[in-house]
Structure 1
């Protein structure tokens, strides 16, 4: 298989986040919509908390990128009406919480920044010294094509029970494509996680106004497993999958431990594909009145994994591997343990192992199964000969349905 369909530890474009920056979200305003891949003109809101709670000055900066997330080197005036860098002025302090924080938010587009071209964009947050605090990616696309996506069980007998394959078509009756191999690039993205993607695909068949991508193995992804979850919308008492609550400097929430079983079988469990929702039942505005809790995670296993580290993994930190989410083995209790602060809400998470080679594996602890319900996005980039702008002319979405 030309493309390794596992998660690779990549530090390029990973957020360089201060320990005090938490709960970064870049989403449209629609409720329970988690993707930052949206039609051109859609309003996205960036929000985050600073646990220093001292009302720092932060700015945002927007840069147009190529399909492989390199700088396009375009002038900002070529893709933005207004300014590509501005101060974040919507700043609010937390209210009635044990953990104090300052909440920052900005909507894009706004009166100062209007993006006029589709494409890949990198949003950076800068401090008062113009140093990058963290980055997030977003994509604005045109509905210029129709992208049909099909997700099926792997047809490779060796991975029949562990992988899923994606096939898709790009229908472009209103766009003239002279040389698809040079003018078109596509990316398949799993669960809005940029660590799990397939690129460098060429059409397998050409029809009039249609490109077909019908690979058998090259577009296979590991199915993985459904995410674990918890809900701590009530800070003082145990809630969904929380077995113990202690009040210290902040509330400490202890989750049900996960027992490692290398012969684990798939069992259906609805999830939100690793995402999270901030919410609280004890206040009216979760943005500034939801508290933070120290979440305690544990994995029961008789012996530690050889030359591998274990991490908690999910969208709560942009699917990144970080020292904060690392777990440590306790020989007396025969378990890996880890803890870190999270804002109240409903969270999906899983566990990842990382070897000395930097290879990140989210399947080793929780297994990988073809039945797992995943969301796949196919992003179509178009840059005709002589053009300076690489547009996104269509996005298609497919879900695996084992009952189909």
Structure 2
């Protein structure tokens, strides 16, 4: 009886852990600047076309030249592991050591830059479209961090229209996304059941809207014209700074100081939620690693302590948790980007160790585990935001969720 119970428990343990949703594991403090290199210079959401090269890059600041290994897992639409065997979605092998790394050159902060490229001599091809999670492990087979990425096939045209909200209450604050999907030489059977969508604002998966179904069809077109279900807060343009020269104050940097490392002190930002909207071009929360000397930015850009400060309105509730927010840490909210309130100066302050470059950032609040991106920045329908829509399809009897199309649009020309 005891053995039967143990066997039953083991079955449920394996079942539960095999089918729970995979989340991105937060890296330790010594792992910095994790990014996927794509076809654009700035760091974007890693959405790749089937057959394109995948490049993942990160820095280890411990100076140990550690060995790191990678494993790749194919996932369903809801980020649970798919039932596909590894040989079905991967040609070659994973769980291989990342052999391409270089040590930093001419920097105060010593680090090793690791670069994984697929295809490589061991992993020659990812064969299926869909969701993926790549995990980076140390020599003891312990997970160091993980990241999500997506691969799509070009089997459908995805058209996007960015509109103002139809709800008069949010007319000035929200943007909604209308979608038209037109398949290319494929038949989408029973699309209400088999087609799913993911709408992503500014490459941030944490705030994405998922699983909207087509409302109706016109010929072979699938039409989505939701209001509240497909609406995002407009937010505001991101703040930015540039420190490609660590020895001189530049855009957004008020002054610099050299201690053990360089310290850059940004101009104090103000709360904008009660101010009128002002257009200010940004790169929608992303960042670009660069340096003024024109050397290899992967190994010749130094790390700098960036000091942020925020002046809130007198009526702002200072008991709220305030975070510095952006793609630089994958839009995570943790102690490393949490701010402290300086009651003597009446401002919030925070410092983050960042690699030289051009960065977008904003300030957000977290209250009762609810993220509010607009409590400090405000929400404006005029804000220029980037939207991506991924279309998933699992045919009747299919074994995994394909991504059959990608659409992209900006709200710069938003209409009623």
Normalised to the residue count of structure 2, the TM-score between the two structures is: 0.91
Q: Displacement of 1:303 after TM fit?
A: 6.7
The equivalent of 1:110 in structure 2 is 120
Larger Rg: 2
Q: Does 1:27 align with 2:37?
A: yes
Correspondences of 1:118-267 after superposition (within 5 Å): 118-267=129-278
The equivalent of 2:279 in structure 1 is 268
1:351-392 Cα distance to aligned partner (Å, 9 max, x none)? 11111x211111100101000111111111111112213211
Q: Does 1:331 align with 2:343?
A: yes
Shift in CA distance, 123/193, structure 1 to aligned 2, threshold 3 Å: same
Q: Which sits farther off after the overlay, 194-203 or 325-334?
A: 194-203
Q: Tell me, which stretches of 5 or more residues in structure 2 are unaligned?
A: 1-20
1:167-223 Cα distance to aligned partner (Å, 9 max, x none)? 011101411122112211111111110011111311111122211111122211100
The equivalent of 2:334 in structure 1 is 322
The equivalent of 1:392 in structure 2 is 403
Q: In 2, Cα distance between the equivalents of 1:45 and 1:208?
A: 40
Normalised to the residue count of structure 1, the TM-score between the two structures is: 0.94
Q: Displacement of 1:336 after TM fit?
A: 0.5
Q: Displacement of 1:158 after TM fit?
A: 0.5
- Moved >4 Å (runs of 4+): none
Q: Which of 27, 44, 50 is 2:54 aligned to?
A: 44
SS at match of 1:77: helix
Q: Which of 81, 103, 109 is 1:71 aligned to?
A: 81
SS at match of 1:267: coil
SS at match of 2:139: coil
Q: Root-mean-square deviation (CA), in Å? A: 1.6
Q: Does 1:279 align with 2:290?
A: yes
Give the number of equivalent residue pairs. 393
Q: Does 1:299 align with 2:310?
A: yes
Q: Displacement of 1:73 after TM fit?
A: 3.0
CA contact (8 A) 2:157 2:184 kept: no
The equivalent of 2:109 in structure 1 is 99
Q: Displacement of 1:29 after TM fit?
A: 4.8
